[in-house]
Structure 1
């Protein structure tokens, strides 16, 4: 018995690899984000420095580039569109369906996501807001879309701040007056930057929703089982 307990204790540190496996999807995406974000900063600083030198101004380091309006604008105009896409997708999938798509809830029956949490049996592992009830539960049952909305608004505001700084710098280099953040929001440039990103995000979602009716990816939860009929809706 002692030997068995000893083996169990020695096996527990191995749970570290289990933790990595359990969180692999999140860790991989965070890792890819950091790699590509680092590449964006380095290449962005190089491009910004080239533009500076062409105008007779000093180049900047990667650290200095992080404090420029160009960095804020380039970063948050993209983040803004991503958070808008994901937030709208979360909301639209509550009400809308696509027959045959793995991205849609099943049709003709109640999906688990539609069940009222107030009717669920309470357990120790039940999320605290569900056990608490009231307005806290009301917020919690819409917390995913609220989070994306707040991230979208914050990113849009930072896009406007960085964009107005960069736009003002360009204006001044041409002997024109700088603009405020509110004035920049009224420019066609701000909306062009936003719309060019927004349209691509919703195109990608439309392709995924439509393609998942007919195409498969074995092993992916974003796909139906390979042998499942095209008309089968949901996972």
Structure 2
């Protein structure tokens, strides 16, 4: 078997990790400036960059996006187990058995939970969706916390009393942000599932072969 270097073997994750770091830094810098403009406009004092990274504005904006992404991926992983879309590269076959549905068999190279069996195997068999939903729950909670802190910062600048987190949950702004993000994630799933029926991208595992019939389901 041909040996490949580290970058070649991990290029996809490293590329998107680099984009994540670059865009997170860009978000922090631009968010810091934008937030300070709003604070100064309301008669407050500008935050240092370090202070901004602990602010509700930064925490809310960051985890508002994280939670919707993790929800999207968790639901997608679970829903593709049983639901089908005829002709889609993202769907399992309508009738044929799939390799991913076979029962795990212990072997020398199998992951250790498979060799261990029992509860460990049960958890490992659902570990991808479990992890996504745990990450979603943590991100949702941090989005709520950051939005609450930001809301109370705005209240103080307007000389209004702070709200408890329970009171804040009754405000429409937090839910507007949440549903705004969720609906964009759900329509993006619809787009990749449906468009892969009729459109192709040569060389991509997210596409069927270019010459595959439209109604051929799966890759």
TM-score, structure 1 normalization = 0.89
1:26-45 alignment, distance < 5 Å = 26-45=13-32
* Other-structure match for 1:223: 207
1:190-209 superposed matches below 5 A: 190-209=174-193
Which protein shows a greater Rg?
1
**Residue 41 of structure 2 corresponds to residue 54 of structure 1:** yes
Classify the secondary structure of the residue corresponding to 1:233: coil
Counterpart of 1:186 in structure 2 is 170
Shift of 1:173: 2.6
| Structure 1 segment 73-84 matched on structure 2, within 5 A | 73-84=60-71
Structure 1, gaps ≥5 residues long: 1-14
* Equivalent residue number for residue 130 of structure 1: 114
Give matches, 1:91-170, under 5 Å.
91-117=78-104, 120=105, 122-170=106-154
Alpha-carbon distance in structure 1 between the residues aligned to 2:164 and 2:103: 47
Equivalent residues, number: 217
Distance in 2 of aligned mates of 1:179 and 1:125:
55
CA distance in 2, matches of 1:21, 1:182: 49
Would the aligned equivalents of 2:152 and 2:162 in 1 still touch at CA under 8 Å?
yes
Unaligned runs of 5+ in 2: none
Q: What is the rounded CA distance, in whole Å, between the counterparts of 2:129 and 2:169 in structure 1? A: 25
Instruction: Give 1:168 shift.
Output: 1.1
* TM-score where L is the length of structure 2: 0.96
Structure 1 position 54, deviation (Å)? 1.2
* 1:91-136 deviation digits (Å, cap 9, x = unpaired): 000110000000001120111111111xx2x322100001100011
RMSD: 1.2
